[in-house]
Amino acid sequence: MAGKLMTLLSDLKEAEALAFVDKALGEGADPEGLLADAKEGM
């Protein structure tokens, strides 16, 4: 899962990135980890 959000954001896949966040949060992922991952994509 690590790095997935970074890839989706950097490839400008908006819908997939937002859906991934919803799914990850639903599965109990660490929000800070997700945020860090997203920022890496920027």
Partner 1 sequence: MNIVGQRFAKGEYFIPDLVFSGEILKGIVQKLEPKLKAAKGKEAKRLGKVIIGTVAGDIHDIGKDLVVFMLDVSGFEVTDLGIDVPAQKFVDAIKKTNSTVVELSGFLTLAFDSMKETVEAIKKAGLRDKVKIMIGGGQIDDYVKNYTGADAFGKDAMAGVSLAKKWVGGM
Q: Does 4 bind partner 1 (CB under 8 A)?
A: no
Is 22 a binding residue for partner 1 by CB under 8 A? The answer is: yes
Residue 14 sits in the site that holds partner 1 (CB under 8 A): yes
Question: Cα separation of 10 and 18, whole Å?
Answer: 13
27 interacts with partner 1 by CB under 8 A: no
SS (H, E, C) 1-42: CCCHHHHHHHCCCHHHHHHHHHHHHHCCCCHHHHHHHHHHHC
**Which residues sit at the interface with partner 1, rule CB under 8 A?**
5-6, 9-10, 12, 14, 17-18, 21-22, 25, 31-32, 34-35, 38-42
